[in-house]
Amino acid sequence: MTIANLREMKNTHPFESFVIHMADGKSFEVKDPEDLVIRKDWNINVIVLRPRGQFSFVYLKNITHITGQGKLPRFKGRRGKAGESE
């Protein structure tokens, strides 16, 4: 997972909620694009805003996967494998 991937997921219109799963078993649901804070000068960390005024710093290398529903995000530079239709 790269910071560019997360930025694209955050900026998808219409926004689709998703869950960030961490290596330690924790997970963070991003229900609204404002729940994910990515500063322009950050490349390896994000902040996930949580209920009751809580927040978590997330180190990208500790993300194991992201799950969501709806249309599959199309990341810039992504290419299909031979034989796949787009």
pLDDT digits (tens, 9 = 90+) for 41-69: 888 899 999 988 999 999 999 999 999 88
pLDDT digits (tens, 9 = 90+) for 6-32: 998 899 889 999 999 999 999 999 999
Q: What angle do CA 49, 46, 73 make, to 5 degrees?
A: 95
* Distance in angstroms (rounded) separating the CA atoms of residues 28 and 11: 18
Provide, rounded to the nearest whole percent, the portion of the chain with pLDDT above 70: 80
Q: Residues 58, 56, 20, 11: is their CA dihedral positive or negative?
A: negative
- Pairing mode of beta strands 45-49, 36-37: antiparallel
* Distance in angstroms (rounded) separating the CA atoms of residues 75 and 28: 21
Provide, rounded to the nearest whole percent, the portion of the chain with pLDDT above 90: 53
